[in-house]
Chains A and B, each alone.
Chain A
Amino acid sequence: MQWITVSSRDLDWSDRRFCLSLNLPRPEVLFGEEDVPFPAILRPGLRPGSWTMVFGHSHWSHPENHSREWISALCLMPEEADERKCLYLAYGFRRRFGPLALMEKAFLVRRLCETGGYRPEELAGTWLKALELPPGPTTVEKMMRLASWPEPLVPIAEQAEINPAVLLQLAELPCSDAEAIVPFLQRHRWSHSRQKEVVRICLDLAKIQGTCLADIVADCRQVESALPGETAGPERAEAVRIHLLRLRYPRRREAEEQYEACRRKLRLPPEIRLAEPPDFDGEKYRIQFSFRSRRELDRAVESLARLARQEELDNLFRLV
């Protein structure tokens, strides 16, 4: 049945109105027994036998509506629809309304499978590519799992603005783990790269400790509650991240603590800065100081000479 005909001429992107001409024998073919699933007007098209769906201005102005409903529209495509047309529509949509969020893509994938009659492996190549997702059947599975997250989790995930790569990672987790970590990410508002790091550490820790993410998150809660009440959000988030890093890299933390202890004993004057090699992997410390007069320089050099005589330095050298 060749009843969807979409070409560039059929799409009207002007003035926040979205029109899609469908060559339908009758409107019911599109919607079947169901109601129109979104506020669209269906009217006779210009060509004989065609119908035009018009999405009105007010509807599209609600950002949380437009992509979901668009997804519904796409999913009404019959099995026989040419995949390229769908891709074209997805592309057109992207140009008009910006990229789809990952959750929206997840709903799209699920609807394509469940309503559109696509088999998951049919979506694994071109479709995923068009949606800017890593190709392959495992991505389809992850998207299906994301789309089946319980309803309260979905808006939280959307508000948390989770890094799409992280969200895909979370899709592999049991729902109870996702329910623990998603609100945690929402609360701390880390940048995308920090989210990636934090989630990675939490997952590793859960494996190392043989526990679940809820326990790791609960442990972080305790760290948070020990912070002074006036601690600002970003500092709280950083304190939690550092706590996680220390749990994940205990030997490094030990070296860091020893280093800090040495540094305290050395009592460096404030104008002299000592820097350890990154991750204690190199073998050299660096000292930096600034001065703006001969007197300041003399003072710094004296401090350095005193420093060089301290026995505590040996402990510092043992660390690298």
Chain B
Amino acid sequence: MTRTGASTQTDGSAYRPEFILVEREVESLPMSVRIRERLPEVPFLPVDRVDSWLSEVGNSRDPLRAGKKILYLTRHQGQVLKTCQGMCAHVSCCLYHVVDFACNCPLDCSYCLLQNYLNHPLIRVYVNTEEMLQELEGRLQRLGSTVLRVGTGELTDSLALDRYTLLSGELVPLFARYPTAALELKTKTAEIDSLGRLEHRGRTVISWSLNTPRMIAGEEWGASRLEERLLAARRCSDWGYPVGFHFDPLVWYAGWESEYRETVQQMFDIVGPGRIAWISLGAFRGPAGLLDTVRERFPDSTLPLGELLPGVDGKLRYFRPLRVEMFRKMVGWIRAVRPAQTVYLCMESPRVWEQVFGFRATTADVGRLLDAAVLP
């Protein structure tokens, strides 16, 4: 491969693309100009089509990894605010909404669903941000007393590109103006520098996906280490932001108990329980095809070795008693430090809620729980 050589990013150091392709039509939009200015040494190439790049990437040893080295600045089409894809009949979900300012992620987690979901491997950044923000604000203005929780981390890491897009500088003050809206910026990085000076009024939750150091080192390529994430959370908390944590995916492996317990302890030790808005728990899960991808791309990953079975929705999950055992223990360790901590399960059935918490949560229950955790 000539245009996309081996990457040097192997740990939590900041992501830096090797090429920026920009659709001619959006070349002069302010966001394109901003990204170009902030990455002056990266080749910036206006293109009409990306086919030749896609075929070059496609012929590389690992097209998904190769595609992550290219930012493709393009226009977002369609509706800006969408409901989270987790919403389905079999699980109690949290009534979350998402806005995608980018599609695909600079990090490369072995378990990432995007691997089987995206139809091309470049990192698309939507640069018609002004239009998107306008549409989003229109929705926020019409909210009235309805509560809306919105995340930007469904198809990418919310902050991994922030040093180039400075998008948080626009989103955080926007949400600060609407008392019934809450923004969640979800990340596995420590890219928080631009957040310090922003007017947020507690309307933005900065949240981190957490895992044990072993899982981070083995399964979350390009992400920050546990301690870096927790120190970043501490700083955000000091700036007055509510913070959130997502233990997702919880992975069952020999020694998981002591290592997750220690991780929970470390979270409370570094961040302190005071400002944690919510903690979610999600056991590793995914469509059957994902495991084939994990085996192919990450042959040393231990994820596919779990006792994973297809559930009623067709997704593979740990055999239910194993999940329940993990959730109960995690809840126990968390509540031992902070009994009133808001904890919820991600994409689990009312039956699992019942086995873990003693009540069958409906989607509306979970929504209310989280609204209460973040809104005054």
Contacts and interface: CB of A to CB of B under 8 A. Distances in A.
Interface of A: 121, 124-125, 135-138, 204, 207-208, 248-252, 255, 278-283, 320
A121 B58 CA distance: 12
B320 A280 contact: yes
Interface of B: 55, 58-61, 63, 296, 304-305, 307, 309-312, 317, 319-322, 349, 351
A125 B52 CA distance: 13
Contact of B312 (A208, A248, A255, A281): A281
B319 A249 contact: yes
B58 A252 contact: no
A248 B309 CA distance: 11
22 contacts: A124-B59, A125-B55, A136-B63, A138-B61, A138-B296, A204-B304, A204-B305, A250-B307, A251-B319, A251-B321, A252-B307, A255-B321, A278-B312, A279-B309, A279-B319, A280-B319, A281-B311, A281-B312, A281-B317, A281-B320, A283-B351, A320-B351
A208 B308 CA distance: 14
Nearest to B322: A251
Contacts of B351: 283, 320
Contacts of B59: 121, 124-125, 135-137
Given A125-B59, A135-B58, A135-B59, A207 B305 contact: yes
Given A136-B63, A208-B305, A278-B312, 20 more contacts: A121-B59, A136-B60, A136-B61, A137-B59, A137-B60, A248-B307, A249-B307, A251-B307, A251-B319, A251-B322, A252-B309, A252-B319, A255-B321, A278-B310, A279-B309, A279-B311, A281-B317, A282-B312, A283-B349, A283-B351
Contacts of A124: 59
A221 to B, nearest CB: 24
Contact of B310 (A136, A207, A279, A320): A279
Contacts of B311: 279, 281
A31 to B, nearest CB: 33
A249 B61 contact: no
Given A279-B319, A280-B319, A249 B309 contact: yes
Contacts of A278: 310, 312
B309 A281 contact: yes
* Residue of B59, B311, B317 contacting most chain A CB atoms (<10 Å): B59
Nearest to A134: B296
Nearest to B61: A137
Contacts of B309: 249, 252, 279, 281
A278 B59 CA distance: 41
Nearest to B300: A207
A302 to B, nearest CB: 31
4 tightest A-B contacts by CB?
A279-B309, A283-B351, A281-B311, A251-B319
B23 to A, nearest CB: 25
Nearest to A319: B321
A283 B312 CA distance: 10
Contacts of B60: 136-137
Nearest to B350: A283
B361 to A, nearest CB: 15
A89 B6 CA distance: 36
B163 to A, nearest CB: 32
A47 B215 CA distance: 68
Contacts of B58: 125, 135-136
Contacts of A135: 58-59
Contacts of A137: 59-61
Contacts of A248: 307
Contacts of B319: 249, 251-252, 255, 279-280
Contacts of B61: 136-138
A207 B299 CA distance: 11
A117 to B, nearest CB: 19
A283 to B, nearest CB: 5
Contacts of A279: 309-311, 319
A282 B313 CA distance: 10
Nearest to B55: A125
A135 B296 CA distance: 14
Contacts of A320: 351
A281 B55 CA distance: 42
A250 B296 CA distance: 25
Contacts of B349: 283
* Residue of B55, B309, B317 contacting most chain A CB atoms (<10 Å): B309
Contacts of A207: 305
A267 B55 CA distance: 63
Contacts of A281: 309-312, 317, 320
A283 B354 CA distance: 12
A249 B309 CA distance: 9
A301 to B, nearest CB: 29
Contacts of A251: 307, 319, 321-322
A153 B114 CA distance: 38
Contacts of A283: 349, 351
Contacts of A280: 319-320
Nearest to B296: A138
Nearest to B291: A200
A127 to B, nearest CB: 11
A193 B296 CA distance: 19
A320 B59 CA distance: 47
A251 B60 CA distance: 40
A98 B103 CA distance: 42
Nearest to A208: B305
A250 B319 CA distance: 10
A278 to B, nearest CB: 8
A31 B307 CA distance: 56
Contacts of A249: 307, 309, 319
Contacts of A204: 304-305
Contacts of B305: 204, 207-208
A250 B318 CA distance: 12
A250 B55 CA distance: 44
A136 B60 CA distance: 6
